[in-house]
Amino acid sequence: MNQIRIHAKVIGKSALRFTPAGIAVLEADCLHEGTVIESGLERALAFEFSTVALAAVAQALDREALGIRLKLTGFIAPRTRRSARLVMHVTEFEIFNEIDDGV
């Protein structure tokens, strides 16, 4: 199974674009900050990652402001067929809380 759910803040996004087939595409950069338990110890995490959203999800995400905190659901895939770089494909999102002005 390839599924990811993560809380993140949107820290950057590209202009909404459309494929030749007319499908909306939005690329966004996100920041996750949180803690996890690893081997019985709490570990703080803070990292940036890239996302891409298509169709209605892309259009809805485009309407959200930078700094918004979201619960993202999707999957991980290579950025392109020949790339080793991974990107999260967002298939669903919901607002986690209001905008953080400290972007």
| Each residue's pLDDT tens digit, 24-36 | 999 999 999 999 9
The span from the CA of 99 to the CA of 93, in Å, is 15
Q: What is the pLDDT of residue 103?
A: 47
Q: How many whole angstroms separate alpha carbon 103 and alpha carbon 13?
A: 13
Question: Residue 20: is its pLDDT beyond 60?
Answer: yes
What are 43-100's pLDDT values in tens digits?
A: 999 999 999 999 999 999 999 999 999 999 999 999 989 999 999 999 999 998 755 5
Predicted TM-score (pTM) of this structure: 0.88
Distances (CA, A) of 8 to 21, 55, 78, 82, 88: 30, 21, 20, 27, 12
Q: Give residue 102's pLDDT.
A: 52
The hierarchical CATH code for the domain 4-97 is 2.40.50.140
**Where in the chain are the domains?**
4-97
